[in-house]
């Protein structure tokens, strides 16, 4: 390993959302299952010692609600999330541009957004030395509440493609 510090990127798809009639897509709320499963993501992060010091969250209601649940589980360890309009319905490359502007003082960045951008971004950044099972899981399915954890030695501004290792992929589910 070089003398650079390892940076971690946690990419999360929002929890299960509802489709109420007459509501704009941006304002869709979480459904009951989403409210049960979003806190499990926060519990999983805590259990694995993956504590974001910065959270970027799409401005859509369902991502904001997901973020609120995750932060409530992280408690006083939770950073104040930054709502980012540019993450709503964003492509992987648009998301990457947002990540590229994160200050290097951030060591663990969490991004909460939407399909297909979250999966595309994880696959775009995944290097050849990624954990095989985690890589295959993230590549083949990316259900609601899914989390991909990537590690890199590069600065956020240098992240480009195939330069972060997927170390974990988790789908928190309420039983």
Residue range 123-162, pLDDT digits in tens: 999 999 999 999 999 999 999 999 999 999 999 999 999 9
Residue range 61-116, pLDDT digits in tens: 999 999 999 999 999 999 999 999 999 999 999 999 999 999 999 999 999 999 99
Identify the band that residue 5 occupies on the pLDDT scale cut at 50, 70 and 90.
Answer: confident
CB-based contacts of 62, cutoff 8 Å, min separation 6: 14, 15, 17, 28, 29, 30, 34
d(CA 98, CA 100): 5
CB-based contacts of 158, cutoff 8 Å, min separation 6: none
Q: Report the candidate in 41, 43, 89 with the shortest Cα–Cα distance to residue 66.
A: 41
Q: For the chain, give me the number of helices (H) and strands (E)?
A: 5, 6
d(CA 14, CA 141): 14
Residue range 10-34, pLDDT digits in tens: 999 999 999 999 999 999 999 999 9
| Reported pTM | 0.96
Residue 1, pLDDT score: 40
Q: For the chain, where are the E strands, in sequence order?
A: 7-13, 54-58, 82-84, 108-113, 147-152, 165-170
């Amino acid at each position: 390993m070089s003398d650079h510090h390892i940076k971690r990127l946690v990419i999360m798809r929002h929890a299960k959302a509802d489709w109420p009639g007459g509501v704009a897509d941006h304002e869709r709320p979480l459904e009951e299952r989403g409210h049960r499963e979003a806190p499990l993501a926060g519990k999983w992060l805590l259990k694995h010692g993956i504590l974001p010091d910065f959270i970027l969250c799409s401005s859509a209601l369902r991502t904001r609600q997901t973020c609120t649940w995750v932060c409530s589980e992280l408690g006083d360890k939770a950073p104040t999330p930054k709502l980012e309009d540019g993450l709503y319905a964003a492509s992987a490359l648009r998301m990457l541009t947002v990540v590229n502007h994160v200050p290097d003082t951030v060591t663990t960045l969490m991004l909460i957004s939407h399909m297909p951008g979250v999966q595309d971004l994880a696959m775009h950044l995944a290097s050849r030395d990624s954990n095989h099972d985690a890589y295959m899981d993230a590549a083949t399915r990316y259900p609601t509440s899914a989390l991909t954890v990537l590690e890199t030695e590069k600065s956020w501004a240098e992240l480009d493609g195939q330069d972060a290792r997927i170390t974990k992929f988790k789908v928190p589910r309420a039983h």
